[in-house]
Amino acid sequence: MASSSVAVAAALILVSHAYGCYAKHHAFPAVANSSWLDAKATWYGAPHGAGPDDNGGACGFKNVNLPPFSSMTSCGNQPLFKDGKGCGSCYQIRCLKSDHPACSGVPKTVIITDMNYYPVSRYHFDLSGTAFGAMAKDGRNDELRHAGMINMQFKRVPCHYPGLTVTFHVEDGSNPFYMAILVEYEDGDGDVKQLDIMESRPGAVSGGKMAPTGQWVPMKESWGSIWRMDAHHPMQGPFSLRVTNESGKTLVAEQVIPIDWKPNKTYSSHVQFH
């Protein structure tokens, strides 16, 4: 039985390293913890990389190898990824000497940027090579990565993006009848429970300039942290966006997307969760 378990674990590690995170749904309760919980950790991609070869992932975030993500990223299984609602949430992770002799026990923070539904354990972090190695003692990163799979501990923590505001990326393919928006860099919960949009129209009060309609329309979750609006009319900017996080807090970015918006362009707001 023991040798069979080892063989199964080894097979999962090999598949994870070959293909990265894999989508298969398993129902587990969501996590909202403030104390340390037990989990399994694996890693994928390059030893010093951010996980996916394209530095992206199932949440839709781009360039996760660069600041502020800085390759400290992870796939999460269902209680962590939450079918995309967990995208952007932050966790402290650590492994102890009892888990592996190379473990430092020093907590490191990772961000959920991808999905992983391998039935390895109740909670499973498939980390980037960088994040997995960061749990090691100085100079023993490769030794820890060589383990492939280890026991670890984790807890949910607030996200912090010093100097950054909530940012919106208009995805490729967006047009006046279809808008897809990626939400990034939310302090606090880090994730998005709902995104609403408000169009503009010519306003007499503002001398014929475009003014908000005052009507919020809920967008639909497309995938990951990307939300979409399928309209039956040409949508008119500037657009205001209202973000609701997992705790139910809301934030309004007024007319953050201008009238002359373009696909594949990022628009930074002047607001941030506190």
Structure tokens of 14?
Answer: 């090999």
Q: Are 167 and 68 in contact (CB under 8 A)?
A: no
Place of tokens 């919020």: 216
For every residue of 15-46, DSSP letters joined together read HHHHH--------------SS-EEEEEEEES-
Confidence at residue 174, expressed as pLDDT on a 0 to 100 scale: 97
Domain positions in the chain are: 2-157, 167-268
User: What's the confidence (pLDDT) of residue 7?
Assistant: 35
Q: What integer pLDDT is reported at residue 208 of this predicted model?
A: 64
Rounded Cα distance, 179 and 184, in Å:
16
The whole-number pLDDT of residue 33 equals 60
| pLDDT tens figures, 31-84 | 556 689 999 999 999 999 999 999 999 999 999 999 999 999 999 999 999 999
Q: Hey, what CATH topology would domain 2-157 get?
A: Barwin-like endoglucanases (2.40.40)
pLDDT at 31: 54
Read off φ and ψ for residue 146, nearest 5 degrees.
-65, -20
Torsion sign, CA atoms 163, 81, 130, 267: negative
What is the arrangement of strands in the sheet containing 217-218, beginning at the earlier edge strand? 217-218, 194-198, 239-244, 250-257
- pLDDT reported for residue 25: 40
Sign of CA dihedral 51, 54, 55, 60: negative
Question: Is it true that 2-157 and 167-268 share their CATH fold?
Answer: no
Task: Pick left, alpha or beta for residue 9 (phi over 0 → left; psi -120 to 50 → alpha; otherwise beta).
Answer: alpha
> Which parts of the chain sit beneath pLDDT 50?
1-19, 23-30
User: What integer pLDDT is reported at residue 209 of this predicted model?
Assistant: 78
Give me the CATH code for the 167-268 domain, please: 2.60.40.760
| 3 state DSSP class of 229 | strand
